Amino acid sequence: MANRVYLTGLNEDFFEDDDVSMHALVERNYAIPLLWFGLFEADDLKLYSDVPILLTSRDRALANLRRRAPGLKAFLGDLAAPVVDHWITFIEQNAYANYLLNTLELAQMEEEEGEFQRDLEQYQAEFESIVAGTFASRELSVILQETDQLAQFPYAGGPLHLCGYSFDLELPWERKAA
């Protein structure tokens, strides 16, 4: 198992429709890229077969991203600010009715039941403190679960930790080799 997490697009109602086609947009191993949290609100956290997922509509995701972009850019610094804009463009160009963060493989790594859901709730709260500019430290678990490079200001690392990768889609940031 590669312990991947996937951001997927879908046009159906995930909980109501019998035949749901999920389209993998980007993925990441062992961590959730920081900018993915920009799509979701705390009440987007749902349980599906005891696995925590994040699920939101396209309109809500784009409104969230646009509202949070200034806070993200301020947190990351000028070098990474264009990646935030690329991320918004990527979501705009991949027009699905809904976006789902599939955490199954990461959730399977938890040592005690409910641990990963609690982690996700903490990541969401910390992300909100980042975009609001109210974080007390840059050493946040939402940052450190991805890479401690994100705790440095300005962030000078690559877009992988912010956005993830795809083997199939054209990305406005660097492409991972197969």
Q: pLDDT tens for residues 156-173?
A: 888 989 999 988 888 887
- Domain assignment present for 45: yes
**Which pLDDT score, from 0 to 100, does residue 174 have?**
60
One-letter identity of residue 69? A
Residue 178 forms part of a structural domain: no
Q: Do 87 and 162 touch, CB atoms closer than 8 A?
A: yes
Cis check: omega of the bond before 154, within 30 degrees of 0: yes
Q: Residue ranges of the chain with pLDDT lower than 50?
A: 175-178
Token pair, residue 11, equals 């046009």
**Segments forming the whole domain that contains residue 146:** 4-163
Tokens of 8: 């997927």
- Residue 68 covered by a domain: yes
Q: Residue 176 domain-assigned? A: no
pLDDT in the model for residue 176: 46
Domain tally, the chain: 1
Could you tell me if residue 170 is inside a domain?
no
pTM: 0.92
Closest CA to 82 of 158, 177, 146, 176: 158
Q: What is the DSSP letter of 28?
A: E
Within-domain flag for 171: no
CA distance 87 to 16: 29
